[in-house]
Amino acid sequence: MNRYLISLFFILLSSYAGAQITPAKYQQPITFTTVQDHQNMMDQLGIKSLRQGPSGNESAPNHANYDTSIANPYPELPDVLMLKNGKKVTTPEQWWKQRRPEIVEDMEREVYGRLPKKIPPVTWKVEIQEREFVGRFPVIAKQLVGHVDNSAYPMIDVNIKMTLVTPANTEEPVPVLMMFGFSALPAPVQPNTDDLNKINTAFRELLSRDPEIKAILDKYPAYSPLVRSTTQFPFGGGAQGGEIPSNQQLLAAGWGYAMIDPSSIQADNGAGLTRGIIGLVNKGQPRKPDDWGSLRAWAWGAARGLDYLETDPAIDSKHVGIEGVSRYGKAALVTMAFEPRFAMVLVGSSGKGGATLHRRVFGEAVENLTGSGEYHWMAGNYMKYGASEAKFGSMNAGNLPVDSHELIAMCAPRLVFISYGIPEKGDAKWLDHQGSYMAAIAAGSVFKLLGAKDLGVSNDYMKEKMPAVNVGMLEGELAWRQHDGGHTDTPNISHFIAWVKQKFLK
C-alpha cells in the first residue's frame, strides 16, 4: 500500500472514529425556527394565547393608540424608593443594600433575564493594528476579536468583533465611547501604487488560466481588476443633513471610540437563541423562562469589551461610555444599568424595553415585545405580561413589578443622557417620546438621593411635559434632549460630549 493510500486510510479511520465519538460526548444544538422557539417558551409558561400587538400602520384596524387621553391606563408606577416591605428608602445605604437589589432581582427574573452562574471567559486578540485617517484625524485603529472559551461545548463558536479607534497624536489616555454597531476598520491602509500594480499583474495571470476569462482580459489590456478605494467606510454613521459623523465629532473632542458588533455576540432573532453566547452556555438547548435574552447578552458582550479596554494603556478606562440607537439604545441602557464600570450612556430613541414606560399604551406596546417578532430581546418570563389566556390567568403591563424608570434609576448617580428625534424626520411616534420623559422624571428621585442632579423639575411624571425640541435639560447627571433630526442620535453627540466634559472631563 503506497503512502497516499495509507494516509487516506488513516484520514477515513479518524473521521469515522470522530463521527462515532462526537455525538455521544456533545449533544447537537437544537435547531428551532423563531416561531418554534416562541411556542416552546409559551408551553413552558403555560400560555395558551397572547394578545396581538398593535400595528405601526395608522390605517390598519389594529393600529397603535396615539390618543394621549387614554395612554395611561396604569398610571401608578412602582415607587422606586419604596421597599417591598412598605418602608420608605431615605438614605443612600438603603438604596444600595436594600432597594436596588430588589429592583435588580425583578428586572432579571421578569424582564431581561439572568446571567448564567458560569459564563466562559473571553480572550481578546488584536488581529490588525494600523495607522489610518478618519476624516482629517490621524488615528490608531485596531481590529479585535474576543474568543469565548467553548472547550466545554465546541459545537458553538462565539467570537466577539470590536474595532477600537484612538487619536494617534496624544500621549494621555483618552475617554472612549463604545457604540453598538457594525465592526470594521474605518479606513484600512491600502497598497501603494507599485504594490498595487504587482498585485494586479499576479491577479491577471491567475485569472488568465481560465481561457474564457483570458479572452475577456485580452480585450481590455489596460484594465486593472483591483483599484484603490477613494472613500472611507461610513464608520459611526447616522449623520443627516450634512452633519459631521459621530466618530469624527468624538475624535475632534480628543476621544476614542469603539464599535462592538451585537450580532457576533447573539443573533437578533428567536431562531438564534440556541446559538451565540446564550446557546453556548445552554449547550445548544432552549432557554428557561428566566434565562437572559438578546438585550442582556449584548450588554454582557459590551462588558467584555470593557474588560479589554481596561488593559489598553491608550484608554482612560474610568471614562468609558456606551451608546446605541433604537434596539441598540435599549441595549445601551441595559448595559449601563447592569454594568457599573461604564461611566456614561447615550440612549438613542430606545422605546419599549429601553427608556419608555412599559405601562404606557402609546405606540409600541408590551404585546409587541411578547409576540414572536421581538420576544428574544427579553427573558421568557416577560411573555406573561402579554398573555390573554394562561394557566395563571391573564396579565398585562400593569402587572409588571418594575418599569423603565427603575432601569434608569439603576444607573444613578452615573451620567445618563436620553436622546430622541422628532416624528416629522422619522423618529416615529411609535417610540413614545413622552413615555421616556415620564420615566426619566420618575427616576430623578434616586439621582437626588445619591447626591446627583436630575432633570431639574418635579418628579411628578403625570404632570411634567417634555420641553420644546432642541431645548436640552443638561444641568444634571440625568439629561434629556430631543433634537430636530430623525431616528439617530448624531445631532445630540456634540451636546453629549460638552455635557460629559462639564461633568468630569474638564
Verify cis geometry, omega within 30 degrees of 0, for the bond prior to 211.
no
pLDDT of res. 214: 74
Q: All 3 cell numbers of residue 445? A: 428621585
Residue 189: per-residue pLDDT: 63
pLDDT of residue 187: 76
Q: Which three cell numbers stand for residue 459?
A: 418628579
pLDDT at 13: 43
Domains of the chain as residue ranges with CATH: 68-187+247-504 (3.40.50.1820)
**Cα–chain center distance at 139:** 25
Q: What is the pLDDT of residue 21?
A: 42
Q: How many CA atoms lie within 13 A of 233 on its CB side?
A: 14
Q: Which pTM was predicted? A: 0.89
205: CB partners within 8 A, 6+ apart: none
The beta strand positions in 64-211, using DSSP E, are: 122-134, 137-148, 159-167, 174-180
Whether 292 and 115 have beta carbons less than 8 Å apart is answered as: yes
pLDDT by residue for the chain (506 residues), tens only, comes to 444 444 444 444 444 444 444 456 899 999 999 999 999 999 999 999 999 999 999 899 999 999 999 999 999 999 999 999 999 999 999 999 999 999 999 999 999 999 999 999 999 999 999 999 999 999 999 999 999 999 999 999 999 999 999 999 999 999 999 999 999 999 776 676 666 566 667 766 776 787 877 777 677 776 667 665 544 444 434 455 568 999 999 999 999 999 999 999 999 999 999 999 999 999 999 999 999 999 999 999 999 999 999 999 999 999 999 999 999 999 999 999 999 999 999 999 999 999 999 999 999 999 999 999 999 999 999 999 999 999 999 999 999 999 999 999 999 999 999 999 999 999 999 999 999 999 999 999 999 999 999 999 999 999 999 999 999 999 999 999 999 999 999 999 999 999 999 998 65
254 — alpha (psi -120 to 50), left (phi > 0) or beta?
left
- Measured CA to CA, the distance from residue 256 to residue 140 in angstroms comes to 9
Q: What does the alpha-carbon distance between residue 348 and residue 482 come to, in Å, rounded to a whole number?
A: 10
Phi, psi of 502 (to 5 degrees): -65, -35
pLDDT confidence of residue 4:
45
Report angle CA 392, 394, 398 to the nearest 5 degrees: 115
Beta strand 159-167 with 387-390: parallel, antiparallel or unpaired? unpaired
Neighbours of 414 (CB within 10 A): 21
